[in-house]
Structure 1
């Protein structure tokens, strides 16, 4: 049964390379029959967090927030693509995620991290994992770290190295399993 898994991109830098990983993962999810809409903070242009979506009176939230709330409520899981800024989570990613809370509950997340260097963004992924759990969308055990992303995946989202597709398949198998299990359980009710 098809799943809806938004791919949340974390960087807004002009010369960002994370969109390569996002394009690749969207293509992989769509090839499996899933909907994988891109959530791009560079396009959303959300303000710095002042009010969460839930703090707006009904019908008064800015249009991008309303659109995201609708998408997130209808989602089965979330795939977050994060860079590593100073060993941490990019501010644009944190800002995008922080606008919501209940919309994430009882849905799994998965982290694809990357860097231009050899560590593949894993230091940011560790901080992000704790953040996602606190928001109610605990991450699956596996990560998909991609070191030297600028060489590993081209600008069209095509991997230059075969290990990426192999690793992504295992990673997405795990995400699907968690998403299906939690979707089935949500349909029977949640603690609150």
Structure 2
């Protein structure tokens, strides 16, 4: 059974560079045999949070929200690709995640951060760790951090230069860690129902 991994990306900017990192991760996960899919918050187009998915009467949630809820429930694990905005997390990605809660429970999450600068989005990754944990996910310890995002991947999301080489070096451990936790969570869910 192939691991079903959703890769979330949240920038709404016109000249998005981080989308290349998300595309690279989808492709690299697929090359390892996973069923990886990119979920682009801008393309999904959820409004600023007013009502969570669970707050709609059954069958009355907007179609894009209903479809995404099904994908999240059906996934084995998640990758959150986050840029860093003023030492914080991207509002587009945070808004998307906040529309759901129980749908995230009992699955592992991995964080891949990036920025134009040398700190590679590390502060955003740290902020996401607590947020994702609070939302019921197990956050894996391996991370990917790409500095100089504008020079790390070309237009086709192929790694370039020193930052690209670092990304390629970090990816196997990141993917192995995620796959281990995906299998552990899937096995446990098959043995016993989650406690809540």
Q: What is residue 86 of structure 2 aligned with on the other side?
A: 86
Normalised to the residue count of structure 1, the TM-score between the two structures is: 0.98
Matches within 5 A, 1:1-192: 1-160=1-160, 161-188=164-191, 189-192=193-196
Q: Is this contact kept in 2: 1:120–1:146, CA < 8 A? A: yes
Aligned CA RMSD, in angstroms, stands at 0.8
Moved over 2 A (4+): none
Alpha-carbon offset, residue 41 of structure 1: 1.1
More strand by share: 2
Query: Which segments of 5 or more consecutive residues in structure 1 lack a partner in the other structure?
Result: none
Cα distance between partner residues in 2 of 1:187 and 1:55: 28
| Paired residue secondary structure (2:67) | helix
Normalised to the residue count of structure 2, the TM-score between the two structures is: 0.96
Cα distance between partner residues in 2 of 1:190 and 1:58: 23
Tell me which moved more, 87-96 or 155-164: 155-164
Cα distance between partner residues in 1 of 2:121 and 2:166: 17
Query: Which segments of 5 or more consecutive residues in structure 2 lack a partner in the other structure?
Result: none
Cα distance between partner residues in 1 of 2:80 and 2:12: 14
Higher relative contact order (CA 8 A, sep 6+): 1
